[in-house]
């Protein structure tokens, strides 16, 4: 976990220096991304909030994204990750929205994604999404890798 805390520390420093804020919508990382960002002293200056959006019900209740908005969109896809990131940003009034959605394992998801598949997106001054495939069935290891990749994406955008 130290590597997550180190990355989050760098991200927190950059967000504070820029006077910017972030909101999170994560799924398969199960809160690790938010926990890492909140482990930084002074996180309340930049971390506005987040949600573990693990199910369709959570998407509707926590993010207020209706079923109609995701028709034809797979939940572990780059377009869905971008929707989550943009929605988190808008709902919290943050400078940045960061999201993660995938299949941690040990099996894949009902949509045909293998374990270790995730899509991560950031929305802010610029928006982009990436796909990560670890190729591993280890749930905890994948959750860690997903959070680490999300923090790395955030750092790239804040560079």
On whether the pTM is more than 0.95, the answer is yes
DSSP state of 45: G
Tokens found for residue 45: 């200056």
pLDDT digits (tens, 9 = 90+) for 27-80: 999 999 999 999 999 999 999 999 999 999 999 999 999 999 999 999 999 999
pLDDT in the model for residue 110: 85
Query: Is residue 28 within 8 Å of residue 142, measured between CB atoms?
Result: yes
Q: What is the number of helices (H) and of strands (E) in the chain?
A: 5, 5
* pLDDT value, residue 158: 97
Rounded CA-CA distance 41/138 in Å is 31
**Structure confidence by residue, pLDDT tens digits, 104-132:** 999 998 888 999 999 999 999 999 999 99
Q: Which stretches does DSSP call E strand in the chain? A: 22-26, 47-52, 96-103, 117-123, 127-133
Report whether 100 contacts 150 (CB < 8 A): yes
Domains along the chain with CATH numbers: 2-128+142-158 (3.90.950.20)
């Amino acid at each position: 976990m130290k590597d997550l805390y180190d990355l989050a520390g760098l991200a927190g420093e950059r967000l504070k220096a820029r006077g910017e804020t972030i909101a999170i919508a994560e799924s398969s990382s199960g809160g690790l991304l938010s926990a890492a960002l909140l482990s930084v002293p002074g996180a309340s200056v930049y971390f506005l909030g987040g949600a573990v959006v693990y199910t369709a019900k959570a998407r509707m209740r926590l993010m207020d994204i209706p079923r109609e908005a995701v028709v034809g969109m797979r939940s572990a896809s780059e377009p869905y990750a971008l929707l989550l990131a943009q929605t988190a940003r808008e709902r919290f009034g943050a400078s940045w929205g960061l999201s993660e959605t995938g299949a941690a394992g040990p099996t894949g998801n009902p949509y045909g994604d293998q374990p270790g598949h995730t899509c991560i997106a950031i929305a802010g001054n610029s928006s982009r999404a990436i796909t990560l495939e670890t190729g591993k069935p280890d749930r905890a290891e994948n959750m860690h890798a997903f959070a680490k990749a999300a923090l790395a994406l955030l750092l790239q955008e804040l560079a």
